[in-house]
């Protein structure tokens, strides 16, 4: 399951990405809001998506105007490794090396076709493990020390 959420700045792109995931990638996705362009607070949607991702060991996608605010909020949730990506190479590397479980994008900064390619790479790239796991363990230790 892929959980997806946005604020008003990411609503239009979220709609396109949700359709792409379900129809073109044939993956299950659940829309956790927002559901129109009325002004909302991105931390609320980051929390909804990230709590589901952690509870179900799933993946998530978050979209706000730039992707910056929603990614910052997401990374405050224990167990989340959210990466803001604006091109496919970063999406690939964050999965391979960081085992990122949430992708953030900017609805006002990334076009829909580019966003689709970022999403595809993020959802299909596997974590390499090995030497990278040691680094993730260190990140987890930092999180636990709060």
What positions carry a catalytic annotation?
64, 97
* Cβ–Cβ < 8 Å for 76, 83: no
* Cβ–Cβ < 8 Å for 63, 10: yes
Tell me the CA distances in angstroms from 96 to 6, 14, 33, 51, 80, one per residue in order.
Answer: 25, 24, 28, 23, 16
* Cβ–Cβ < 8 Å for 1, 29: yes
């Amino acid at each position: 399951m892929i959980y997806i959420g946005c604020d008003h700045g990411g609503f239009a792109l979220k709609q396109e990405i949700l359709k792409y995931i379900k129809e073109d990638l044939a993956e299950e996705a659940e829309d956790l809001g927002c559901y129109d362009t009325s002004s909302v607070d991105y931390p609320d949607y980051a929390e909804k998506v990230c709590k589901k991702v952690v509870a179900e060991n799933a993946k998530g996608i978050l979209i706000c105007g730039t992707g910056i605010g929603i990614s910052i909020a997401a990374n405050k949730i224990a167990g989340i490794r959210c990466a803001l990506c604006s091109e496919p190479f970063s999406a690939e590397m964050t999965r391979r090396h960081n085992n990122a479980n949430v992708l953030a994008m900017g609805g006002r900064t990334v076009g829909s076709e580019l966003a689709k390619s970022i999403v595809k790479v993020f959802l299909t790239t596997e974590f390499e493990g090995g030497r990278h796991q040691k680094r993730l363990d260190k990140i987890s230790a930092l999180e636990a020390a709060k």
